[in-house]
Amino acid sequence: MVEAAGIPEMCRAIKTFQNWQTEILNSFVYGYSNGFLEGINNLTKVMKRNAFGFRGFNRFLAKILLSHQYKEIGIHIG
């Protein structure tokens, strides 16, 4: 019915749903999400923008690791 209307935007949306049907349905069946990792990536990018002028990469890396509470991973300051 929508396809018969011939609205290009709707036809394109329907085609997208058809192409990704398996993946879309799997997102409802399985409880997996990459939201947690996307949150870590977003926070790291914000820190990178705010860290303009850091003198050494090791300090910046330590700041990232400490903010994500991975203190036991190989960077020691001091």
Contact predicate 41/64, CB 8 Å: no
Looking at the fold, whether 25 and 41 belong to one and the same domain comes out as no
Looking at the fold, whether 22 and 40 belong to one and the same domain comes out as no
Q: What is the pLDDT of residues 23-75, one digit of tens each?
A: 999 989 988 888 878 888 888 888 888 877 777 888 888 888 888 775 455 44
Could you give phi then psi for residue 58, rounded to 5 degrees?
-60, -40
Looking at the fold, whether 41 and 17 belong to one and the same domain comes out as no
For the chain, the domain total comes to 2
18: containing domain? 1-31
Distance CA 35, CA 15 (A): 26
In a domain, 77, yes or no: no
Amino acid at site 4: A
Question: What are the structure tokens assigned to 40, written together?
Answer: 């870590």
pLDDT reported for residue 27:
86
Question: What are the structure tokens assigned to 74, written together?
Answer: 């190989």
Reported pTM: 0.51
Q: What is the pLDDT of residues 8-20, one digit of tens each?
A: 889 999 999 999 9
Query: Helices 57-67 & 35-50, crossing angle to 10 degrees?
Result: 140
pLDDT reported for residue 77:
46
